[in-house]
Amino acid sequence: MEVIFLLIAISLLMASFFLWLFFKAMKAGQFDDDYTPSVRILFENKVKKENKKNQTNKSK
Amino acid sequence: MQKPNHISKKQSETTCYHCGEQCEEEVLYKEEKSFCCTGCKLVYEVLQQNELCQYYELAENPGTSQKVRENRSNRFDYLLDEDVVDKLVDYQDKDMAHITFSIPMIHCASCIWLLENLHRLHEGVVAGRVNFLKKSVQIKYNKGKIDLKELVQLLSHIGYEPTINLSDVDKKSPNKVDRSLIYRLAVAGFCFGNMMFFSLPEYFSEAELLGTGFKGLFNYLNVALALPVFFYSASGFHHSAFQALKQRKVNMDVPIVLGIFALFFYSLYEIFIVGQEGYLDTLGGLLFFLLIGKLYQQKTYDTLSFDRDYKAYFPVAVTRMRQKREEVIPLSKLEVGNLIKVRNAELIPADSVLVEGEAYIDYSFVTGEAVPVHKAKGSLIYAGGRQKGKPITLAVQKSPSQGYLTDLWNNEAFSKNEQHSMESLAQRISGKFTFTVLAIAFLTLGYWSFVDFSQGVQAFTAVLIITCPCALAMSTPFTLGNTLRIFGRGKFYLKNAQVIEKMVAVDTVVFDKTGTLTDIRKASISYEGSPLTVESKGAIKALVNQSTHPLSNRVNAFLGEIAIVEVEKVKEIQGKGLEGIYKSQVIKLGSLAFVKEEPSEEKDSGNLVYFAIEGELIGKFVINSGLRSDAARVLEEVGKGRQLHILSGDHNHEQKYLVQVFGPKVVMQFNQGPLQKLRYLYDLQEKGRTTLMLGDGLNDAGALKASDVGIALTDGVTHFSPASDAIMDASALSRLGAFLDFAKSSKKIIKSSFGLSFTYNAVGVFFAVQGLVSPVFCAVLMPISSVSVVVFTTLATNILAKKKGLTINQH
**Contact list, A19 vs chain B (CB under 8 Å):** 186-187, 190
**Contact list, A5 vs chain B (CB under 8 Å):** 217
Q: Among all residues of chain B, which has the CA nearest to that of A51? A: B120
| C-beta of residue B658 within 8 angstroms of C-beta of residue B645 | no
Q: Looking at the structure, tell me whether residues B25 and B161 fall in a common domain.
A: yes
Q: Do A36 and B127 touch (CB under 8 A)?
A: no
Burial track B627-645 (b if 16+ CB lie within 10 A, e otherwise): bbeebbebbebbbeebbbb
**pLDDT at B613 exceeding the cut of 60:** yes
The Cα A9–Cα B274 span in angstroms is 26
**How many residue pairs from chains A and B have C-beta atoms closer than 8 A?**
65
Where residue B172 falls among pLDDT bands split at 50, 70, 90?
Answer: very low
Q: Do A5 and B120 touch (CB under 8 A)?
A: no
Of B308-322, B362-376, B477-491, B567-581, which has the strongest mean pLDDT?
Answer: B477-491
Any domain includes B807: no
Point out the residue among B51, B133, B193 whose CB comes nearest to the CB of A48.
B51
pLDDT at B186: 93
**Contact list, A35 vs chain B (CB under 8 Å):** 1, 3, 132-133
The interface predicted TM-score (ipTM) is 0.77
Among candidate residues B744, B767, B801, the one where a domain is terminated = B744
Q: Do A36 and B221 touch (CB under 8 A)?
A: no
pLDDT at A33: 78
Among candidate residues B624, B642, B664, the one where a domain is terminated = B624
> DSSP letters along B11-66, please?
TTS-B-TTT--B--S--EEETTEEESSHHHHHHHHHHHHTT-TTHHHHSSS-S---
Q: Looking at the structure, tell me whether residues B190 and B234 fall in a common domain.
A: yes
Q: Among all residues of chain A, which has the CA nearest to that of B52? A: A46
Of B34-43, B53-62, B90-99, B617-626, which has the strongest mean pLDDT?
Answer: B90-99
Q: Do B131 and A26 touch (CB under 8 A)?
A: no
3-state class of B610 per DSSP? strand
Q: Do A15 and B190 touch (CB under 8 A)?
A: yes
Q: Which is higher by pLDDT, B61 or B464?
A: B464
Which of A24, A36, A48 would best serve as a mutation to test chain B binding (most B beta carbons within 10 A)?
A: A36
Q: Looking at the structure, tell me whether residues B10 and B124 fall in a common domain.
A: yes
Any domain includes B798: no
Q: Do A48 and B186 touch (CB under 8 A)?
A: no
Q: Do B210 and A43 touch (CB under 8 A)?
A: no
For B282, other C-beta atoms within 10 Å of its C-beta total 29
Q: Looking at the structure, tell me whether residues B195 and B285 fall in a common domain.
A: yes
Q: Looking at the structure, tell me whether residues B161 and B84 fall in a common domain.
A: yes
Point out the residue among A19, A35, A43 whose CB comes nearest to the CB of B132.
A35
Q: Do B119 and A33 touch (CB under 8 A)?
A: no
Any domain includes B392: yes
Q: Looking at the structure, tell me whether residues B120 and B201 fall in a common domain.
A: no
pLDDT at B302: 63
- DSSP strand E in B473-513: where? 492-494, 508-512
Sequence-ordered list of residues with C-beta below 8 angstroms from that of B6, at least 6 positions apart, any chain? B59, B60, B108
Residue B121's domain spans which residues?
A: 1-176
**Contact list, B112 vs chain A (CB under 8 Å):** 36, 39-40
3-state class of B319 per DSSP? strand
For B701, other C-beta atoms within 10 Å of its C-beta total 30
Any domain includes B264: yes
3-state class of B120 per DSSP? helix
Domain harbouring B687, CATH code: 3.40.50.1000
**Contact list, A54 vs chain B (CB under 8 Å):** 119-120
Structural domains in chain B (count):
5
Q: Tell how strand B380-381 and strand B352-356 pair up.
A: antiparallel
Of A13-22, B363-372, B583-592, B683-692, which has the strongest mean pLDDT?
Answer: A13-22
Any domain includes B780: no
Q: Looking at the structure, tell me whether residues B91 and B50 fall in a common domain.
A: yes
Where residue B171 falls among pLDDT bands split at 50, 70, 90?
Answer: low
**pLDDT at B702 exceeding the cut of 80:** no
pLDDT in tens, B339-398: 888 877 677 888 888 888 878 787 766 665 656 677 778 888 887 777 777 788 888 888
**Contact list, B4 vs chain A (CB under 8 Å):** 39
The Cα B566–Cα B568 span in angstroms is 7
Among candidate residues B176, B194, B225, the one where a domain is terminated = B176
pLDDT in tens, B494-529: 888 888 888 888 889 998 877 778 776 666 777 878
**pLDDT at B622 exceeding the cut of 60:** yes
Q: Do A57 and B126 touch (CB under 8 A)?
A: yes
Q: Looking at the structure, tell me whether residues B618 and B660 fall in a common domain.
A: no
Residues of A with CB under 8 A from a CB of B: 1, 4-5, 8, 11-12, 15-16, 19, 22-23, 26-27, 32-36, 39-40, 42-44, 46, 48, 51, 54, 57-58
Please tell me the pTM assigned to this model. Answer: 0.73
Point out the residue among A16, A40, A57 whose CB comes nearest to the CB of B127.
A57
| C-beta of residue B426 within 8 angstroms of C-beta of residue B247 | no
Where residue B276 falls among pLDDT bands split at 50, 70, 90?
Answer: confident
Q: Looking at the structure, tell me whether residues B86 and B151 fall in a common domain.
A: yes
pLDDT at B7: 40
pLDDT, mean over chain B:
79
Q: Among all residues of chain B, which has the CA nearest to that of A24? A: B183
pLDDT, mean over chain A:
75
**pLDDT at B174 exceeding the cut of 70:** no
Any domain includes B308: no
Q: Which is higher by pLDDT, B60 or A21?
A: A21
Which of A49, A52, A58 would best serve as a mutation to test chain B binding (most B beta carbons within 10 A)?
A: A58
**Contact list, A12 vs chain B (CB under 8 Å):** 194, 221
pLDDT at A15: 92
Provide the shortest C-alpha distance from residue A21 to chain B (in Å).
Answer: 11
End-to-end CA distance of chain A: 48
Provide the shortest C-alpha distance from residue B133 to chain A (in Å).
Answer: 7
Q: Which is higher by pLDDT, B674 or B718?
A: B674
Q: Among all residues of chain B, which has the CA nearest to that of A15? A: B190
User: C-alpha B620: how far from its chain's center?
Assistant: 42
The dihedrals phi and psi of B321, each to the nearest 5 degrees, come to -100, 125
Q: Do B210 and A4 touch (CB under 8 A)?
A: yes
| CA-CA-CA-CA dihedral for B353, B354, B356, B361, to nearest 10 | 150
Domain harbouring B618, CATH code: 3.40.1110.10
**Contact list, B187 vs chain A (CB under 8 Å):** 19
| C-beta of residue B191 within 8 angstroms of C-beta of residue B228 | yes
pLDDT in tens, B205-232: 665 666 667 778 888 889 999 999 999 9
Q: Which is higher by pLDDT, B412 or B167?
A: B167
Where residue B44 falls among pLDDT bands split at 50, 70, 90?
Answer: confident
Q: What is the mean pLDDT of residues B106-125?
A: 84
Q: What is the mean pLDDT of residues B280-285?
A: 89
Any domain includes B793: no
Point out the residue among A34, A40, A51 whose CB comes nearest to the CB of B112.
A40
Any domain includes B482: no
Provide the shortest C-alpha distance from residue B384 to chain A (in Å).
Answer: 35
Of B36-40, B403-407, B444-448, B485-489, the one with minimum mean pLDDT is B403-407
Q: Looking at the structure, tell me whether residues B497 and B635 fall in a common domain.
A: yes
Which of B117, B123, B140 would best serve as a mutation to test chain A binding (most A beta carbons within 10 A)?
A: B117
Residues of B with CB under 8 A from a CB of A: 1, 3-4, 51, 54, 58, 109, 112-113, 116, 119-120, 126-127, 130-134, 177, 179, 182-183, 186-187, 190, 193-194, 197, 210-211, 214, 217, 221
Q: Among all residues of chain B, which has the CA nearest to that of A25? A: B183
Q: Do A23 and B221 touch (CB under 8 A)?
A: no
Q: What is the mean pLDDT of residues B731-760?
A: 88
Domain harbouring B322, CATH code: 2.70.150.10
